[in-house]
């Protein structure tokens, strides 16, 4: 891919420069002093929890241009998107807008969208959405609340409105989750340009809605607003000024995430999300691009838990094949990672400088953060409408780790020892 080739070329160029002799002794020597004022600083006007601003500033100073004026390559920072850089979910906002404006096209068969869809879900969707609309034509979801309800319930809770499981079969639960892959699959038949247009219109509505506003999707009540976090905007801006290469890695739909990431100065080339395969006419199909030796599938290797590590290794550091699933050495890992949930825990934990985690009471992620094995975890309440304190300890020692088969197990450190249950103290 072009993005991979660009990364490879950049790394090759950096390696070549590293072995060239300096033109003069002066060129080989770093500046005598770098004043604190010359180093990009996080805004003192934006509140962070406790000493978190200072912890993040330490990583910026250590890993940025002030800490190493002549690095072989730029340090990398990577952030999840939904509920990390913004409050609420931009993919849900786009789907809600699409359902309100009749933008979901009727498939020939609902089964062609997801390989894991159950008989019960296929039946529920067929009965709720009907067969009167021609295949490929828009479903009237703005008025047909039954159809909108079934679609959104499957996205939100992986079940039908009657409570039956919507997905079944086998998948690696640390590499994908069918209801996440479901959303890009729902937009099959549209072009990327069309989906981007829907995302822009949904974005305008969500930014205009007041904080706390809700909307109806069928009988579902969901947030109507999205907000960029000022602190995260400032952090990303400061990282870029300090010489970091900043990326967004999301488990949402890539065209949707690209529309939003522009708002923090991150371009398409630095935005990774679920990447749909296009047909010969440039239209979205139910298939997704794969990672780490997994080819094109209907969602088996999306940026989800260990999948985010894979996509970062593959797209940013050029690691090919099955090795992309493995943690790399410190020179081929991100310096700073930011997330909010279990889906982010692997790549955020891979960061060598700081692991920023917004507290959304997610078990595996919070167990890692509170255990703080390397002393570099930075836990912060959500900046808007933070979660209340979790009254019961996180079940780290027994049932917080997401196993590949979907079971729950103990969270273990790198040496194999079990993380003890943790209390919620940052809220």
In terms of Cα–Cα distance, which of 328, 324, 351 is closest to 339? 351
Q: Residue 274 — φ and ψ, nearest 5°?
A: -65, 120
| Cβ contacts of 215 within 8 Å, gap of 6 or more | 96, 209, 221, 222, 223, 224
Helices (H), 188-229: 192-208
Which alpha helices (H) appear in 20-137, and where do they start and end? 25-28, 52-63, 90-100, 119-129
Torsion, Cα of 300, 81, 153, 94 (10° steps): -110
Neighbouring C-beta atoms of residue 326, cutoff 10 Å: 12
First to last CA, the chain: 42
Contact 288, 281 (CB under 8 A): no
Residue-by-residue DSSP string for 340-353: SSGGGHHHHHH-SS
Q: What is the pLDDT of residue 70?
A: 53
pLDDT along the chain (427 residues), means of 10: 42 39 38 57 98 98 81 88 98 98 97 97 98 97 97 98 98 98 98 98 98 96 98 98 97 98 98 98 97 97 98 98 98 97 98 98 98 98 97 98 98 97 98
For the beta carbon of residue 193, count every other beta carbon within 10 angstroms. Answer: 9
Q: What is the pTM of this model?
A: 0.90
Q: Which domains does the chain have, with CATH numbers?
A: 2-88+229-409 (3.40.50.1000), 90-223 (no CATH)
**Per-residue confidence (pLDDT) for residue 68, from 0 to 100:** 66
Distance of CA 214 to the CA centre of its chain: 23
CB 198 within 8 A of CB 99: no
State the pLDDT at residue 254: 98
β-sheet bridge partners, residue 77: 246, 336
CA angle, 156 then 368 then 172, to 5°: 50
pLDDT of residue 4: 45
pLDDT computed for residue 421 by the predictor: 98
Q: What is the pLDDT of residues 342-392, one digit of tens each?
A: 999 999 999 999 999 999 999 999 999 999 999 999 999 999 999 999 999
CA 156/CA 294 separation, integer angstroms: 26
Q: Name which of 244, 231, 195, 213 is nearest 94 in CA terms.
A: 195
- Distance in angstroms (rounded) separating the CA atoms of residues 344 and 338: 8
């Amino acid at each position: 891919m072009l993005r991979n080739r660009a990364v490879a070329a950049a790394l090759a160029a950096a390696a070549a420069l590293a072995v060239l002799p300096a033109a003069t002794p002066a060129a080989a020597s770093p500046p005598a002093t770098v004043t604190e004022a010359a180093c990009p600083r996080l805004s003192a006007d934006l509140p962070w929890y406790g000493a978190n601003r200072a912890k993040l500033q330490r990583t910026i100073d250590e890993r940025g241009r002030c800490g190493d004026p002549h690095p072989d390559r730029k340090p990398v920072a990577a952030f999840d998107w939904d509920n990390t850089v913004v409050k609420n979910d931009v993919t849900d906002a786009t789907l809600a807008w699409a359902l309100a404006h009749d933008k979901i096209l009727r498939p020939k068969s609902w089964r062609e969208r997801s390989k894991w869809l159950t008989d019960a879900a296929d039946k529920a969707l067929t009965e709720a959405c009907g067969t009167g609309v021609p295949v490929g034509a828009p479903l009237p979801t703005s008025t047909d609340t039954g159809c909108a309800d079934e679609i959104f319930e499957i996205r939100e809770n992986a079940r039908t409105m009657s409570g039956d499981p919507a997905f079944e079969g086998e998948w690696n639960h640390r590499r994908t989750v069918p209801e996440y892959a479901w959303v890009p699959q729902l937009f099959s038949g549209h072009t990327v340009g069309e989906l981007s247009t829907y995302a822009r219109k949904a974005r305008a509505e969500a930014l205009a809605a007041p904080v706390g506003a809700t909307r109806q999707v069928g009988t579902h009540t969901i947030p109507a607003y999205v907000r960029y976090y000022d602190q995260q905007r400032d952090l990303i801006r400061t990282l870029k000024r300090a010489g970091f290469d900043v990326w967004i890695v999301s488990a949402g739909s890539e065209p949707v995430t690209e529309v939003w990431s522009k708002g923090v100065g991150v371009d398409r080339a630095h935005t990774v999300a679920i990447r749909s395969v296009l047909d010969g006419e440039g239209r979205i199909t139910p298939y997704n691009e794969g990672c780490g030796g997994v080819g094109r599938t209907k969602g088996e290797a999306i940026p989800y838990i260990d999948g985010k590590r894979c996509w970062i290794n593959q797209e940013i550091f050029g690691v090919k094949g099955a090795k992309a699933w493995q943690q790399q050495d410190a020179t081929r890992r991100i310096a700073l990672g930011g997330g909010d949930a279990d889906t982010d825990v692997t790549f955020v934990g891979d960061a060598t400088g700081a692991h920023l985690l917004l507290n959304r009471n997610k078990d595996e992620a919070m167990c890692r953060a509170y255990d703080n094995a390397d002393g570099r975890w930075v836990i912060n309440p959500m900046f808007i409408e933070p979660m209340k304190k979790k009254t019961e300890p996180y079940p780290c020692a027994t049932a917080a780790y997401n196993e590949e088969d979907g079971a729950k197990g103990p969270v273990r450190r790198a040496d194999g020892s079990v993380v003890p249950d943790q209390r919620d103290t940052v809220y």
